[in-house]
Amino acid sequence: MLGIKITASDGVSHLSGQLDEHMDMKPLLAGAGPIVLNFAKIMTVNSIGIRKFIEFLSKAKGRQLEFHECPAAVVDMINSIPGTLGDPPDPSIVKSLYITYRCSRCDKEEEVLYAVKKVTGDLPVLPARACPRCKVQTAPLLAAEDYFTYMLDC
């Protein structure tokens, strides 16, 4: 699928597909009030999509934005590309993102939703969890910096 599909439900806009040259985020600018985005089904992000996303954020200036269920592609974007959370002093708020765990014994990989409790400051400490298959304590595959560098820039 090219571009994104937007499905609204209960005040949340669920995005699916890819952030690319075909995406159209204009429908999200209709109306007023907070814009709540769920990125769980965004598969890939390319550089033109990032540029269009930043344009969207500038058009949405003054609206409160929330990012929910950010997958790896979106986590990479917000941590490596300046401006993808909007501009201070009113950046978008990341409410939750997916953390990858891989078991050191059986290699089972899991994407686990992590609720972000703060906006800025020190990096959160990511919890270890028991592998669902063999119960070994498993740490996140990447360091907290890889998920939360954006907090340090705020």
The answer to whether residue 101 forms part of the interface with Zn ion (CB under 5 A) is: no
Residue appearing with tokens 């571009």: 3
Residue 114 and residue 96 in contact, taking contact as beta carbons nearer than 8 Å? yes
- Candidates 82, 94, 105, 91; CA nearest to 147 is 94
Strand partners, 144: none
Q: How far is the CB of 139 from Zn ion (least distance, A)?
A: 12
**119 scored as a contact of Zn ion (CB under 5 A):** no
**Which listed residue (81, 106, 139, 144) binds Zn ion by CB under 5 A?**
106
Token code pair at residue 61: 């200036």
Distance CA(114)–CA(66), nearest Å, equals 15
Minimum separation from the CB atom of position 141 to Zn ion (A): 13
Looking at 9-17, 18-26, 43-51, 107-115, which segment touches Zn ion (CB under 5 A)? 107-115
> By CB under 5 A, is residue 94 in contact with Zn ion?
no
Q: How many positions of this chain bind Zn ion (CB under 5 A)?
A: 7
Closest to Zn ion by CB, 105 vs 118, is 105
Closest CA to 150 of 89, 91, 69, 101: 91
Enumerate binding residues for Zn ion (CB under 5 A).
103, 105-106, 108, 131, 133-134
